[in-house]
Amino acid sequence: MIAPTSVPPLSLPMRSPRPTPRVPLRPADARPRFTPDGSRELEDHLERTCAKIAAGVCGLVSRRRVDGILLGGGYGRGEGGVWRTGDGDRPYNDLEFYVFLRGNRHLNERRFGPALHVLGEILTPQAGVEVEFKIASLRELEAGPISMFSYDLVMGNQRFAGRDNLLAGCRHHREAGQIPLPEATRLLMNRCTGLLLAQERLQRATFSAADADFVRRNIAKAELALGDAVLVVFGRYHWSVRERHHQLQRLARIEPTPWIEDVVRHHAAGTEFKLHPERSTASRETLRAQQASLAALARKVWLWVEGGRLRRALASPREYALAPLQKCPELAGLRRALVNLKLLGPRAIAGREMRRHPRERILNAMSLLLWEPAALQDQHLRALVQRELRTAASTFDGVMAAYHQLWSQVN
């Protein structure tokens, strides 16, 4: 592949199957853990809470309809965050439950989604963190292509209902080397949007403790994502955040490029925050400097990933946003059309937007708003941002309001 930036780049590898390290989640005879080093009290609390949550789900949905209930996320993989407080260890991350129901997923979402949402709101105070339910279909998972989400869930979960071999038909989701390149783009899109939202908070007239915590949390997520995206490109992604960091360190030794060491350093900080999060007490000035520094590094990784994926040399976010490329070619035409019809209505049928996935609008707008400081002062770039976000706003706050709206629909 061509070298995507003027920065001395990593050489994008050819995508060939790579065996995934077979690291067991836990010894077969060990008690499942939710965290790597949380106290026994925290582990007991999480175990009781998850059992209560699973019982609540089965009370709302007939057991005959339930294929399985899996806890995913960090706690499902045994790497949930441990928040150290003066009163002992506390949970920090959301509890993400995947409820696999028989039948059509969309109908199940309409029938059971509202009740499960209420159940989550009831149990959240007892859990001490937000309880989330996602209705899923085992048949869809078995038939669907691998993604970062499916790989993480299949490789790292705790089962609270369902047969022992519930995921036996999902073996293809265990091959990390087969995660497609667009997944790296989607990860960076999500986490760089987090950096953009952090930038928005930092520019507000008032800056609260909640804002500081929001900014710090999104910086940490982006620190992880830069390294994780590089690992996806090289087929070395792993379900364990600790193993991912080891893989990234090994990669840095054989790919000596100026920014890879910075990526490793930030990945270490992101890993530590994920395992041992804390409430931020940093000042606005400190967080602004951290956000700006990380955004500059993210720019290099973004252009490298996208330049390699799209097979085009990209010198700047401006060039990326202006490039007349189909940036989501992997999404089928019918699917693009249906998504656009849902978001834009009948007027999408006659327009060129029917041929573009709306995610491309986020990719272009985000690239300019995060990395081109003068984008809204440049008449041409401002017009592009306004066109992508369907807004006449010309101020940063106004444009970000439109970005929020589109983001909530696309993400």
Final residue of a domain: which of 281, 316, 351? 316
349 domain residue, yes or no: no
Pair (166, 195) in one structural domain: no
pLDDT of residue 354: 59
- Is the pLDDT at 402 greater than 60? The verdict is yes
By percentage, how much of the chain surpasses pLDDT 70?
86
Q: Which residues of 311-325 are buried (b: 16+ CB within 10 A; e: fewer)?
A: eeebeebbebbeeee
331 domain residue, yes or no: no
Residue whose tokens read 């059971």 = 112
Q: What is the rounded radius of gyration, in angstroms, for the C-alpha atoms of the chain?
A: 22
Pair (149, 201) in one structural domain: no
Q: How many domains does the chain have?
A: 2
pLDDT of residue 158: 96
Coil, helix or strand for 315? Answer: coil
User: What residues contact residue 372 under an 8 Å CB cut-off, 6+ apart?
Assistant: 316, 317, 318, 321, 378, 381
Euclidean distance between CA atoms 264 and 270, whole angstroms: 10
Q: Of 154-158, 311-315, 337-341, which range is least confident?
A: 337-341
Pair (143, 64) in one structural domain: yes
14 domain residue, yes or no: yes
Residue with the larger pLDDT of the pair 298 and 324: 298
| pLDDT one-digit tens code per residue, 173-211 | 999 999 999 999 999 999 999 999 999 999 999 999 999
| pLDDT one-digit tens code per residue, 91-108 | 999 999 999 999 999 999
Pair (102, 14) in one structural domain: no
Residue type, 260: I
Euclidean distance between CA atoms 385 and 388, whole angstroms: 5
Pair (94, 114) in one structural domain: yes
327 secondary structure, DSSP code: S
Coil, helix or strand for 160? Answer: strand
Pair (133, 232) in one structural domain: no
400 domain residue, yes or no: no
| pLDDT one-digit tens code per residue, 207-252 | 999 999 999 999 999 999 999 999 999 999 999 999 999 999 999 9
Residue whose tokens read 């047969």 = 163
399 domain residue, yes or no: no
362 domain residue, yes or no: no
Pair (16, 57) in one structural domain: no
Final residue of a domain: which of 174, 193, 226? 174
pTM of this prediction exceeds 0.75:
yes
Q: Of 30-34, 103-107, 222-226, 320-324, which range is least confident?
A: 30-34
- Cβ-contact 193, 177 below 8 angstroms: no
Q: Confidence band (pLDDT; 50, 70, 90) for 11? A: low
Give residue 7's domain range.
1-20+179-316
Pair (207, 116) in one structural domain: no
66 domain residue, yes or no: yes
Residue 312 belongs to domain with CATH number: 1.20.120
Pair (165, 80) in one structural domain: yes
| pLDDT one-digit tens code per residue, 108-162 | 999 999 999 999 999 999 999 999 999 999 999 999 999 999 999 999 999 999 9
Pair (221, 98) in one structural domain: no
Other CB atoms within 10 A of residue 389 CB: 24
pLDDT of residue 20: 41
Give the Cα-Cα-Cα angle 190, 136, 125 (nearest 5 degrees): 75
Euclidean distance between CA atoms 190 and 362, whole angstroms: 10
Euclidean distance between CA atoms 308 and 130, whole angstroms: 38
Pair (287, 190) in one structural domain: yes
Final residue of a domain: which of 134, 156, 174? 174
Pair (75, 106) in one structural domain: yes
Phi-psi category of residue 408: left, alpha or beta, with phi > 0 → left and psi -120 to 50 → alpha: alpha
Residue 139 belongs to domain with CATH number: 3.30.460.10
75 domain residue, yes or no: yes
The pLDDT mean for the chain works out to 89
- Cβ-contact 248, 323 below 8 angstroms: no
